[in-house]
Structure 1
């Protein structure tokens, strides 16, 4: 059995245009097709679709990049009355 380029494009677009040749290959094998991952990559290269690259998560708290902000409250967050000291964690923003 031979998979046509239209069917490869159908799997690619069915994934939201995110699958690359390895995942398209896996879908074809699960569907019972005998095809190599290199053949799928070749057909996809000829057709033009390319999967999206997954970007790694970037950490915001890398040591050594710049000096830490000054600690004006000296880690003491108690206050005598409301609205005197505001504290927050911006690690994930």
Structure 2
């Protein structure tokens, strides 16, 4: 993240929020307002000098949303959710 411009960071942050909110609506049963609030909470803006800025990006929004909805080890209990569906990938 250190070599990203501020614009690139903000764009990536917005993209991950959008993906997270989509999963929370589709799989978590949240309405649009609730899903967007959950995405903002999961992906807050971090100042450029914040330690570990962007660390949340080490896993994609799909993984973080699945953890929120189904909990730890969701991939064992529901192996069909290990990989996101084509609809999720089409959000890019």
Higher helix share: 2
Q: Quick check: TM above 0.5?
A: no
Looking at both structures, which has the greater relative contact order when contacts are Cα pairs under 8 Å and sequence separation is at least 6? 2
Larger gyration radius, structure 1 or structure 2: 1
Report the TM range for the smaller structure's normalisation.
under 0.3
Q: Using structure 2 for the length normalisation, give the TM-score.
A: 0.26
